[in-house]
Chains A and B, each alone.
Chain A
Amino acid sequence: MNIWKVFLFGTAIALLPSATSFAAKTDLVLGIVLEPPHLDPTAGAAAAIDEIVYANIFEGLTRIGPKGDVLPALAESWTKSDDGKVYTFKLHKDVKFHDGTTFDAGDVKFSLDRARNEKSTNAQKGLFAAIDTVESVDPLTVKVTLRQPSGDFLYNMAWGDAVIVAPESADTNKDKPVGTGPFKLENWAKGSQIVIAKNPDYWGSPAQLNKATFRIIPDPAAATAALLAGDVQAFPVFPSYETIAQFQADPRFKVVIGTTEGETVMGMNNKKPPFDNVKVRQAIAHAIDRKTVIDGAMFGFGTPIGSFFPPHHPAYLDLTAETAYDSALAKKLLTEAGYPEGFKTTLKLPPPTYARRGGEIIAAQLRDIGIEAEIIPVEWAQWLDQVFKNKNYDMTIVSHTEPNDLNIFARDDYYFNYDSPPFKAMIKEIEAISDGPERTELYRQAQKLLAADEPAVFLFQLPKTGVWDAKIEGLWENGPIQANDLTAVKWTD
């Protein structure tokens, strides 16, 4: 009875005249799942940083467009020398940082040198490895000389980790980011929300929104409620797969399922028996039914993959048939490898739902061919320590969300412990070729090689599950980079 009094009390208070009016249509509240640790994209790997600052607050020489292509940004154009080693960038003029200082070639040199420095804490230092020298020729011209030709150089310069910062503000960007972008940071209430406001002095085409608020909502049920209640009008990466059908049926919302660069794989320790035997790895691949995993762990969202390559890429080959679900074949391969009765092993699972739920399903499927995989849930910190750094694991599930990361299978000492000289040679060749059909052909060969060698079981591509108010347009459909570029976002009425 008294609970109802409490209810009535709450209702009475809420019915008092309130100061909140309907939001003007140049405001937008977006939901994000993870809070960034700080806002300096040159000093941390967290995707949550780029989700706020990329293309909104900070810009690089080049940038990634909505289709994953490399577009000019602070550099309006560039030329490449015939030997492919010297890039000359022509910079935009009249560009100012948010604190009023002028952007010029000196800032480019400073930013690139800072990222390559031995004291650098850039999370993607590898992006700059090809650079030999950076010279500022005049205030609007920068010459970058590479050690060897690099087909990925312009792409690498488009990453959030390669944005241009000013020497005056570089050390305080974590808390007070100062970039050249169409928005500037207005306020960050830690744990709650980050507000960015339109930069009136922006050099390019100005933003349509006056203000955008990123509200941090980690709980899937809370995310659903926030959208339904109208507190949040857009969730670019909506975390609650189970309620997406509800939004699809609701005309007030638009549900946009796009692709990302996140290849979800079940990595295996390729140096540790029995996983050093390619037949065992192939047997495991054939024992897993990707569709069941996607249906069970992802509520059907996600594209099956048969190699380590994003399906939206022009050079993609669908190789899922190579390792199609075939329990009998899996058993046969396992017998040939000398394990007719199967074996016992472990499966370490980091926190994301795809891993924890997917792991349960995969463990059940492996039991059918006699492999007993003990599930060990780990936190991210433990995962990085045990699996990634010390390679103390048998199998693990993780999504590799970095774009253009086929080369991780060519890295020495990477956690897969995979060592294939022919694959390494292919990657080396790919990295030296800029574009054209040769590169596509090499990409395809590399995909085939991985699908045959199966250093990891390639499961599915993570979807980008966008849910937003049907009156909003301009949000990205796909996630070629983990970013929420708000420049073109606007309300339609």
Chain B
Amino acid sequence: MLSYASNRVFIGIITLLAASVIIFAVLEVVPGDPARLMLGMNATEDAVRALQEQMGFNQPLIWRYFNWLGGLLTGDFGKSYTYSVPVIDLIKERIAVSLPLALISLALSTMVAIPIGIFAASRRGSVADTSAMGIAQIGVAIPNFWFALLLVYVFAVVLRLLPAGGFTGWENGLWPSVKSLILPSVALALPQASILARVTRSSLLDVLGENYIRTARAKGLSRRKVLYHHALRNALIPVLTIIGMQFSFLLAGTIIVENVFYLPGLGRLVFQAITQRDLIVVEGVVIILVATVIVVNLLVDLSYAIVDPRLWSRR
């Protein structure tokens, strides 16, 4: 039982190390000189050279990799080339926006999608089922930046109930901050909820077709009891997988929605850092995201084992 868990953890660590090599190697070969980019078209050559030296670009690549890796182990992610503040501070500021946003939209989509999925599966073929799945289809098809603009137009421009975007910062009060996250999380939750509802429905339908369900019904259990006690638990594994993937996506893949609401999230930090060739920031954020994905996958793997205890004994 423990070997299942420790095996997963070991694989996770190896993945992380491999990722660090790849991230560093790939980013170092990207063309473009951050020093020239900062000083612009009018800068003299010697000013550019002085800045390159300040940034430490004259050190050998291998030395810089191990320096970076050593720093990571002690929690030092280096200093941003453009902002000249520690990378870890930048990441912390952005996570304070991205993490609550991801959690709120995930909660929103899960709370809406799973009941709809169950409802639709239990009334397969009914008008309610077809219309719920039809709406879900539309939810997947609508681009979320467009939906976001629609939300802004209705709730910020016409009704003036919520801000059109921006983030005031948690230190300026809980309510204003939550308020500025409402529209973005709804915009992000819509497609996620649509996918999740469809997955829940189809996974539940698969399970409902199994022999043991017929047996359970045959021995006289009510439809309801069979659905919640026997079918649902077994249908959850694919649903958990999707939720895990959605969380990783919501943490950093939300750049378009972040742009529409001009939120200072992780996605925009990475994008901005790439265009400014602030490589040390890109490296830091990507390695944290890799670590998050690995941890989330680990948790999902472990939760399979809770849903399906046979996994513990199989290894």
Contacts and interface: CB of A to CB of B under 8 A. Distances in A.
A231 B93 contact: no
A314 B176 CA distance: 50
Secondary structure of the B contact surface, majority rule: helix
5 contacts: A13-B179, A121-B50, A124-B43, A226-B166, A382-B31
A225 B50 contact: no
B42 A402 contact: yes
Contacts of B41: 45, 384, 388, 400, 402
A382 B40 CA distance: 13
A10 B50 contact: no
A38 B162 CA distance: 31
A46 B165 contact: no
A215 B164 CA distance: 12
A46 B261 CA distance: 24
Interface stretch (A1-9, A365-373, A422-430, A471-479): A1-9
Contacts of A192: 166-167, 169, 262-264
A44 B39 contact: yes
Interface of B: 30-34, 36-44, 46-47, 50-51, 54, 82-85, 90, 93-94, 108, 112, 116, 131-132, 135, 139, 149, 152-153, 155-157, 159-167, 169, 173, 175-176, 179, 182-183, 186, 189-190, 259-265, 268-269, 272, 275-277
Contacts of A231: 156, 163-166
Interface stretch (A15-23, A69-77, A257-265): A15-23
Contacts of B163: 229, 231
Contacts of A328: none
Closest 5 A/B residue pairs (Cβ)? A45-B40, A381-B32, A191-B264, A37-B82, A14-B161
A225 B32 contact: no
Contacts of B131: 1
Given A37-B276, A45-B38, A402-B41, 19 more contacts: A1-B135, A2-B135, A3-B190, A6-B190, A10-B186, A11-B155, A11-B159, A14-B155, A14-B161, A14-B179, A18-B175, A37-B83, A46-B40, A191-B94, A191-B264, A191-B268, A231-B164, A379-B275, A388-B41
Contacts, number: 192
B215 to A, nearest CB: 34
B93 A191 contact: yes
B112 to A, nearest CB: 5
- For B46, B157, B159, B182, the residue with the greatest tally of chain A CB atoms inside 10 Å of its CB is B157
A229 B156 contact: yes
A344 interface: no
A30 to B, nearest CB: 12
B277 to A, nearest CB: 5
A241 interface: no
A379 B182 contact: no
A221 B47 contact: no
A121 B50 CA distance: 6
